[in-house]
Amino acid sequence: MTIGQTLRVIRRLFAVNIANTLAYRAEFFIYMFGSIITPIMALMIWRATLTSGASLPVDTRYLTTYFVLSSLAALVTSAWHQMWLPSMIRDGKLSIWLVRPGSVFFEIVANNLAEKAIKFLFLAPMVGIFWWFYRDDVVVKASVLRWIGFTACLLFGALFYFSLQALIGTVGFWWQDARAVDWFAGMVQAILLGGIVPLVLFPDWAQGFVNAQPYRYRFAFALDVLLRDMSRQELVTGFILQAGYAMGFAMLARWCWLRGLRSYSAVGG
Amino acid sequence: MSELAARGSRTVATPSPAGARSQPVIAVTDLVKTYQFHHQQAGFTGAIKSIFKREYQTRLAVKGISLAVRPGEIVGLLGPNGAGKTTTLKMLTGLLRPSGGEISVLGYQPWQRQTEFLRRIALVMGQKSMLWWDVSAMESLLLHKDMYGLDDAEFRESVDQLADLLDVRDLLDVQVRRVSLGERMKLELMAALVHRPDVLFLDEPTIGLDVVAKARVRTFLHDLNRQLGTTIMITSHDMDDIEALCQRVMIMTTGEIEYDGDLTTLVRTIQPRKRVRAIFAEIPDRTRIETTLPPDVELLAADDDAPETLRLEVPRDALGVVLERVPRFGALLDLDVSDTDVEEIVRDLFLHQRHPEVAS
Amino acid sequence: MDTPETRASRRPPLDPTIVHRLRRHGRLWKRFFVMAIAREIQYRANAISIILVGIAFIIVSILPVLLLFQFAGEVNGWNQDEVIALVGLFQVMTGIMETFIRPNMTRFTALVSEGDLDPVLLRPISSQFYVTFRWMSPASLFYVIAGAALLVIGLHRAGIQPSPVEILLATVIATCGMILLVCAWSALVYIVFWTISVASIAQLFDDLWTAGGYPVVFFPTPLRLFLTFVFPVAFATTIPVDLLTGRGHWWQPLLAVAVTVVVAGLIRMWWRYAIRSYASASS
């Protein structure tokens, strides 16, 4: 397929997915509301810590802005197809896609973008209200360079996470389902994403590990680029890891996917 | 009231074997059920609009029916899909609340779902299983035991009796999901009857079953009624179910009961016909065949795509003669006999009503 | 119209008193439990994965607390060990919900949308009871054991030895909190009768429930009120631990019981209304 055809297909699939998502708008509204609860709670807890006289390596402004923006950053970099890839494989629905020109990933990408678009419409006002309540402490340094860096990191982060979920999904080629792996990943990322405890607040002896691990490069690093003053060395290392994880996981996922397809077709899946 | 309906209802229902009392077990007067459902336009604007204003449409599913069933009767409710049979049954068992009219089953108002009412009825639905899928039938029965408050002795006795009557003793410890459709229906019946209800409601019980299984279910229900005096009400769109079991049949179409009375009278009046389809090795000579057929038998127009197929509509009493003659029309490859649809029967019913002088 | 005399009408009534009714439902619950255990034994792998998830859940609940207390000795009057005790109780509550409540709630949508509610309504049992308690996941009781251990450890490290009265009152409040949470679950889930599916509601519940892992005083006052009177995690975790650590008030158990009785009554009414509208509107 040419690039033109590919884009047309994706655009069509995008429209279908928008319609589907709107059909479930009530559910998605509730999901988005749920997604903002954790950062709100986390912020309140950290602010309570500060008012109790704790001395943190970061100030209220960083914390407040971090948590206000984190749900948006999480949304932009989200992906969920690891849940339905194994069932598609198991039910044989994958075959339907394999006989069509173009990859099943067209549908996955279209779905991802379409749902994100609608979810963003719901989440943005909620974040707006959150922001307004804490507006005194939300400070975003306006340097254009930072914003560019932030956006670039988010895009890489989205690619990284998309690839990671695809990788988890390919487990479905060899095991019954990926639920166990997905659960485990979910638990790990609850800590390592920086959603409840910003990674900068981890103890010093853990900083090395915490800053190098891949989950940081979903959105936590992007937020640091925007909000924190980091040393040149930290920035460079960070960018390398950001791009590296994105590319690396993308290639790994693709490789596993192709291996899986081969074994799937071999048994006449 | 139509002449046919009037003729039917003058027939006296067969007295029940369990010592009839004149009080009906089921009594329904002018029962009405309406639904409201909302209309949603397609598209984005439609979705937004529906948040603010919803347009409702009302559908009249049951339009004021009246009936009375005496203890020990077996009654059939026949009609095409969408006629309101299942809705009526659900109102009689308390699953749905009537929109109007009076309803009384065993002296209770079903929709109040009192414990004493629920323990005296049972419902078996052909398309919806009441059993739990991933455990054995016995587990389901034990759950019934606790739900209906049966003590050990009466439970055991009931299970033994039913297991023998239905011949399912070997299946009791098998997971329900592993059992074939026909056997599962028997287990459903068993579960529904273990608490010895006075009234058994059945909604399309033989749907999807093969001929042998259907016959077994019908025999069982007949024996049940004979031995225990259980009042039985069956809905179906299969004429054979009704014919095999019911003395009395009610025909329901689009929410109304068009006929309520004796089955034999109905059959005699309507004379539903059988469809015979025969496929030959070569195209048969239609003009010659038409002359050899008995007078009531109708040869349907040939299908251009399948000229070797012959289709006939045959009155029941002429079926034997026709089947005897069909093989002589040529080299017969396949022969199929089926009922005309209930819809056709009902259409015939109306045709007869409007033009009683026209014989079907 | 009189009840016609039939074979069945000559039998004694099933529930002559409310005690009979309660006993019959109790026996039914026992059967649900036995069947659930049998199922759990059969699907062992599932039980093991639940335990592993439980361990992960403890870690995820404790870690933020440990990280937080690196920086402060106490927050809003709570020290680390007291919060650990609270997390333990939070685990216990989570375990009870995972065992007895969640398996039913996740099945709720199918119940309504696929007509699985009809067989329930046909039987002479309380439909609300069935829908709330039918399914169980006994392996999740692991959470309860782990949580209880954590609670004891936390109290011990904090040097607190609650008196038997305090333990009793704390249990009363925690039980009320549990019942209130079931009510909150039910209130959210019954919306399914009119719209939506359970999946999003379940997610919302989980997100709100994480607040139970922290003392309610960590949050600003409006949220505190919300977490006490609207989504009552306070009764389930904070207030019982307050009582154990000597911070409680005598009127708290009374308030808890009063609120629970009122709310449970409202939920009962709501169920009745939902069933009524189901019976009127469905086909």
Q: Which chains touch B (3 or more CB pairs under 8 A)?
A: A, C
The answer on B282 and B265 residing in a single domain is no
- Are the C-beta atoms of B36 and B58 separated by less than 8 Å? yes
Residues of A in contact with C231 (CB under 8 A): none
Rounded to an integer, the average pLDDT of C26-32 is 94
Residues of A in contact with B47 (CB under 8 A): 22-23, 25
Residues of C in contact with B18 (CB under 8 A): 7
Instruction: List pLDDT tens digits, range A205-244.
Output: 999 999 999 999 999 999 999 998 889 999 999 999 999 9
Contacts of B65 (CB under 8 A, 6+ apart): B28, B30, B31, B84, B88, B101, B252, B255, B256, B257
- Are the C-beta atoms of C138 and C219 separated by less than 8 Å? no
Q: Among C4, C31, C115, whose Cβ lies nearest the Cβ of B106? A: C4
**Position of tokens 């011990």?**
C156
Please name the helix (run of DSSP H) or strand (run of DSSP E) that holds residue B231, with its range, or none.
Answer: strand B231-236
- Are the C-beta atoms of B72 and B225 separated by less than 8 Å? yes
- Nearest CA to B123 out of B155, B86, B156 is that of B86
pLDDT at residue B109, rounded to an integer = 94
State how far the Cα of A243 lies from the Cα of B308, in Å rounded to an integer.
72
pLDDT at residue B3, rounded to an integer = 42
CB-CB under 8 Å, B25 with C35: no
Residue B74 phi/psi, 5-degree rounding, is -115, 120
The answer on B261 and B288 residing in a single domain is no
Task: Show the tokens assigned to A174.
Answer: 């060899």
CA–CA min distance C153, chain A (Å):
23
pLDDT at residue B358, rounded to an integer = 43
C221 interfacial to chain A (CB closer than 8 Å): no
Distance of CA B288 to the CA centre of its chain: 40
Higher-pLDDT residue of C228, B52: C228
Position B247 in a domain: yes
The answer on B71 and B36 residing in a single domain is yes
CA–CA min distance B133, chain A (Å):
21
Contacts of C97 (CB under 8 A, 6+ apart): C178, C181, C182, C185
State how far the Cα of A23 lies from the Cα of A28, in Å rounded to an integer.
10
User: What global pTM score does this model have?
Assistant: 0.81
pLDDT at residue B10, rounded to an integer = 37
Q: Among B23, B111, B122, whose Cβ lies nearest the Cβ of C2? A: B23
**Position of tokens 């549990």?**
C178
Q: Which chains touch A (3 or more CB pairs under 8 A)?
A: B, C
Domain end (from B246, B269, B292): B269
- Average pLDDT in chain A: 89
Burial class (CB in 10 A: 0-12, 13-18, 19+), A129: exposed
Positive or negative, the CA dihedral C114, C118, C120, C121 is positive
CB-CB under 8 Å, A41 with C53: no
Task: Show the tokens assigned to B341.
Answer: 């649809």
CA–CA min distance C76, chain A (Å):
6
CB-CB under 8 Å, A28 with C203: no
- Nearest CA to A221 out of A156, A168, A165 is that of A156
Please name the helix (run of DSSP H) or strand (run of DSSP E) that holds residue B181, with its range, or none.
Answer: helix B181-193
- B45, closest residue in chain A (CA to CA): A22
Q: Looking at residue B252, which CATH number applies to its domain?
A: 3.40.50.300
A20 interfacial to chain B (CB closer than 8 Å): no
Please name the helix (run of DSSP H) or strand (run of DSSP E) that holds residue B56, with its range, or none.
Answer: strand B55-69
Least confident segment among B318-322, C90-94, C234-238, C251-255? B318-322
**Position of tokens 């995008």?**
A14
A187 interfacial to chain B (CB closer than 8 Å): no
CB-CB under 8 Å, C195 with A41: no
Q: What is the 3-state secondary structure (H, E, C) of C44-109?
A: HHHHHHHHHHHHHHHHHHHHHHHHHCCCCCEECCEEHHHHHHHHHHHHHHHHHHHHHHHHHHCCHH
CB-CB under 8 Å, B107 with C3: yes
CA–CA min distance C31, chain A (Å):
30
State how far the Cα of A167 lies from the Cα of B118, in Å rounded to an integer.
53
Q: pLDDT-based confidence at C9, cuts 50/70/90?
A: low
Residues of B in contact with A25 (CB under 8 A): 47
CA–CA min distance B39, chain A (Å):
14
Rounded to an integer, the average pLDDT of C10-29 is 89
Instruction: List pLDDT tens digits, range A18-66.
Output: 988 888 888 899 899 999 999 999 999 999 999 988 889 998 999 999 9
- Are the C-beta atoms of C87 and C154 separated by less than 8 Å? yes
C-beta atoms surrounding B263 within 10 Å: 19
Q: What is the DSSP string of chain C?
A: -PPPP-TGGGSPPS-SSHHHHHHHHHHHHHHHHHHHHHHHHHTHHHHHHHHHHHHHHHHHHHHHHHHHTTS-SEETTEEHHHHHHHHHHHHHHHHHIIIIIHHHHTTHHHHHHTSTHHHHHHSSS-HHHHHHHS---GGGHHHHHHHHHHHHHHHHHTT----HHHHHHHHHHHHHHHHHHHHHHHHHHGGGGTS--HHHHHHHHHHHHGGGGS-GGGS-HHHHHIIIIIS-HIIIIIHHHHHHTT---THHHHHHHHHHHHHHHHHHHHHHHHHHHHHHH--
Positive or negative, the CA dihedral A149, A150, A154, A160 is positive
B47 interfacial to chain A (CB closer than 8 Å): yes
Rounded to an integer, the average pLDDT of C226-254 is 90
State how far the Cα of B12 lies from the Cα of C85, in Å rounded to an integer.
78
B330 backbone φψ class: left, alpha, beta (φ>0; ψ -120 to 50): left
Higher-pLDDT residue of A152, A4: A152
Residues of C in contact with A180 (CB under 8 A): 49
Residues of C in contact with B255 (CB under 8 A): none
Give the structural domain span for B131.
3-269
- Polymer length in residues for chain A: 269
A15 interfacial to chain B (CB closer than 8 Å): no
- Polymer length in residues for chain B: 360
Distance of CA C148 to the CA centre of its chain: 16
pLDDT at residue C92, rounded to an integer = 95
pLDDT at residue B2, rounded to an integer = 42
- Enumerate residues 24 to 63 of chain C having a beta carbon within 8 A of any beta carbon in chain A: 49, 52-53, 56-57, 59-60, 63
ipTM, 2 decimals? Answer: 0.86
The answer on B334 and B207 residing in a single domain is no
Least confident segment among B153-157, B263-267, C56-60, C62-66? B263-267
Residue B313 phi/psi, 5-degree rounding, is -110, 120
Rounded to an integer, the average pLDDT of A185-193 is 89
The answer on B277 and B262 residing in a single domain is no
- Are the C-beta atoms of B58 and B35 separated by less than 8 Å? yes
Residue C132 pLDDT > 50: yes
Q: List per-residue pLDDT tens for chain B, 360 residues long.
A: 344 444 444 333 444 444 445 688 899 998 989 887 766 555 555 555 655 666 677 888 888 899 999 999 999 998 877 888 999 999 999 999 999 999 999 999 999 999 999 999 999 998 888 888 878 899 999 999 999 999 999 999 999 999 988 889 998 998 888 888 888 999 999 999 999 999 999 999 988 888 888 888 899 999 999 988 999 999 987 777 887 888 898 988 888 888 888 877 776 666 667 888 889 998 888 888 888 888 878 888 777 788 888 888 888 788 888 888 888 888 999 998 887 665 566 666 655 554 444 443
The answer on B98 and B221 residing in a single domain is yes
Higher-pLDDT residue of A184, B269: A184
Number of domains forming the structure of chain B:
2
Task: Show the tokens assigned to A97.
Answer: 């896609």
- In sequence order, the β-bridge partners of residue B250 are B77, B260
pLDDT at residue C144, rounded to an integer = 94
The answer on B142 and B283 residing in a single domain is no
Contacts of B169 (CB under 8 A, 6+ apart): B163
Q: Among C28, C31, C121, whose Cβ lies nearest the Cβ of B95? A: C121
pLDDT at residue B11, rounded to an integer = 37
Query: Going along B241-280, which residue ranges are E strands?
Result: 248-253, 256-262, 273-280
Position B53 in a domain: yes
CA–CA min distance C276, chain B (Å):
8
A121 interfacial to chain C (CB closer than 8 Å): no
Top residue of B73, B87, B88, B115 to mutate, by most chain C CBs within 10 Å, is B115
The answer on B318 and B215 residing in a single domain is no
Distances, alpha carbon C165 to alpha carbons C162, C172, C252, in Å? 8, 11, 13
Q: Which chains touch C (3 or more CB pairs under 8 A)?
A: A, B
Residue type, B84: G
CA–CA min distance C47, chain A (Å):
12
pLDDT at residue B20, rounded to an integer = 45
C-beta atoms surrounding B305 within 10 Å: 6
The answer on B335 and B240 residing in a single domain is no
In percent, the amount of chain C with pLDDT more than 90 equals 63
- A190, closest residue in chain C (CA to CA): C60
Q: Among C14, C24, C125, whose Cβ lies nearest the Cβ of B116? A: C14
Q: Among C15, C119, C283, whose Cβ lies nearest the Cβ of B115? A: C15
pLDDT at residue A40, rounded to an integer = 95
Distances, alpha carbon C27 to alpha carbons B118, B132, B148, B238, C39, in Å? 19, 18, 11, 41, 19
Any idea where the domains of chain A sit in the sequence?
3-266
Q: Looking at residue B306, which CATH number applies to its domain?
A: 3.30.70
Residue A85 pLDDT > 70: yes
Instruction: List pLDDT tens digits, range C138-195.
Output: 989 999 999 999 999 999 999 999 899 999 999 999 999 999 999 999 998 898 888 7
C283 interfacial to chain B (CB closer than 8 Å): yes
Position B349 in a domain: no
CB-CB under 8 Å, A45 with C214: yes
The answer on B106 and B153 residing in a single domain is yes
Residue C276 pLDDT > 60: yes
C39 interfacial to chain B (CB closer than 8 Å): yes
- In sequence order, the β-bridge partners of residue C21 are none
- C276, closest residue in chain B (CA to CA): B97
The answer on B327 and B255 residing in a single domain is no
State how far the Cα of A179 lies from the Cα of C53, in Å rounded to an integer.
11
CB-CB under 8 Å, B44 with A25: no
